[in-house]
Amino acid sequence: MTGVSQQGHSLFRIAMRSLLSSKATTTALALMAIVVLLTLAAPLLSPWDIDSTDWDNVATSPSIETAHYFGTDDVGRDIFVRTLYGGRISLLVGLSATMVSLVIGVFWGAIAGYAGGRTDQLMMRFVDVMYAMPFMFFVILLMVFFGRNIFLIFVAVGAVNWLDMARIVRGQTLSMKHREFVEAARAGGVSNLNIIRRHIIPNLLGVVIVYVTLTIPQVILVESFLSFLGLGVQEPMTSWGALVNDGAALMESAPWTLFFPALFLAATLFCFNFIGDGLRDALDPRDSAGES
């Protein structure tokens, strides 16, 4: 036991320091930042618009002169711009749907697991019922009722993903519930809500974060699948998933239409995995405090 730092043991600062001490995580964070900045700055970087077609350059390969940095697709739209705009949608769907599933899932699972008994039974049976609903059917139902809307995708994906999260969190909570420090808190008159908030949820973070990093890529892929079926984003708006699907069709004649969106998608998914690993380690005081 060495005095790593006698004071300023704030979890946030330790987490940041340990997050940045890992090369893989730092690289992933930097790469992620670049991708995000690019998608935000898309209109400034290219003279082309997302739906403008350049009839002189249909399905041409990447070139600097024409300002089609990533080439064009079979109707002459600029892949560079479309990839960046698509990134906005994909990242937005990925993050927001995951956040929805994170918040609902963690609270639902923690409350069910901690309360136990009939409450647990009721809450988890509800989860089972939701599981039994066919996902496609659910999405189509939403579309029929509310019309086609990008936010419906967030809702639909989030509404399905929190079920997994709730199950995982409940399982973890069940094993956590009988740990002595939770019992100590109960003996100390701490209210149930505070036990869940202070003692249970912080100790679930490791598992939750890993699961979140798995969920984000999954959600991005689900969105591309929906787009492919015509239930997701609609032309001229696009997403990475939609672009990859389009590109796959032109793989032989114009491989760049597949390559660049796929590159962005893959890089982002990699980044999320590394950031997730780093976060999990960084948020655990046992690891991040360094030597012990």
Among 13, 17, 125, 198, binds other proteins (CB under 8 A): 198
- Closest separation in Å from C-beta 164 to other proteins: 24
* CA 206/CA 189 separation, integer angstroms: 27
- Closest separation in Å from C-beta 13 to other proteins: 12
Among 58, 130, 150, 289, binds other proteins (CB under 8 A): 289
Nearer residue to other proteins within complex by CB, 119 or 191: 191
* CA 43/CA 58 separation, integer angstroms: 21
Candidates 18-26, 28-36, 113-121, 185-193: pick the segment binding other proteins (CB under 8 A).
Answer: 185-193
- How many other C-beta atoms are found inside a 10 Å radius of the C-beta of residue 289? 15
Among 60, 96, 203, 273, binds other proteins (CB under 8 A): 203
1 binds other proteins (CB under 8 A): yes
If we measure between CA atoms, which residue out of 201, 204, 205, 217 comes closest to residue 274? 217
If we measure between CA atoms, which residue out of 82, 19, 45, 78 comes closest to residue 235? 82
Q: How far is CA 249 from CA 45, 70, 246, 286, in A?
A: 27, 17, 5, 50
| Residue 66 CB partners (closer than 8 Å, separation 6+) | 54, 56, 57, 60
183 binds other proteins (CB under 8 A): yes
Nearer residue to other proteins within complex by CB, 43 or 179: 179
Q: Looking up tokens 């809702």, which residue turns up?
A: 155
13 binds other proteins (CB under 8 A): no
- Closest separation in Å from C-beta 65 to other proteins: 54
**Which residue ranges make up the site for other proteins (CB under 8 A)?**
1-2, 5-9, 11, 179-181, 183-191, 194, 198-199, 202-203, 205, 284-286, 289-292
